[in-house]
Amino acid sequence: MSKERVVVYPGSFDPITNGHVSIVVRALTIFDRVIVAVAVHLDKAPTFSVAERVEMIRHTFRSKEYVDQVEVDSFTGLTVEYARRRGSNTIIRGIRGISDFEYEFQLALMNRKLNPDIHSIFLMTDYRWFYISSSMIKDVARLGANVSALVPLYVNQKMREKFKLPH
């Protein structure tokens, strides 16, 4: 019997976007299971609490199609240590452009130094989501823009509630 191939997809996911969803769905064509791991950064002030972010991601992947393949969790500390604890030797990161690559490449090299048994894999986001980021989506949503095509429906609803925008 072969060992289950599990990948950790860490990030702040504040909030999860369709670009993130695309990465998870594509990762499932390579791995048996994806752990979407919400990183808790004590020095950052996120818009959504860890519990809210975890709940939005779980809601996004609640269908029977994903229930056994996508797990949502949160963690503090080093991603390589979290991956090791979870029995994964692979971290997946989404890349939108050159600036993402430079940062992610440095991070991957540091992770490799910290634990050479943990591998980093980069997936390009789908071209439809190349230009979006959670920060940009929050900025325009706060100003009343319709971002429903850029985030899962439930996330859009939660953002409208958070920013007290009309439905």
Q: Which of 44, 64, 113, 164 is catalytic?
A: 44
**Taking a C-beta distance cutoff of 8 angstroms, is the pair 79, 8 a contact?**
yes
The residue from 12, 20, 53, 158 that is catalytic is 20
C-alpha 13/C-alpha 19 separation (Å) is 11
Q: Is residue 20 annotated as part of the catalytic site, yes or no?
A: yes
- CA quadruple 69, 74, 78, 82: dihedral positive or negative? negative
Q: Which entry of 53, 93, 134, 138 is annotated as an active-site residue? A: 134
Range 33-70 burial, b when 16+ CB lie within 10 A, else e: bbbbbbbeeeeeebbbebebbbebbbbbbeeeebeeeb
Q: Is 134 a catalytic residue?
A: yes
Amino acid making up residue 157? Q
Q: Which of 96, 119, 160, 162 is catalytic?
A: 96
Q: What is the largest CA-CA distance in the chain?
A: 53
Please indicate whether residue 74 is annotated as part of the active site: no
Whether 44 is catalytic is yes
Tell me how far apart the alpha carbons of residues 12 and 116 are, in angstroms, rounded to a whole number: 24
Residues marked as catalytic: 20, 44, 96, 134
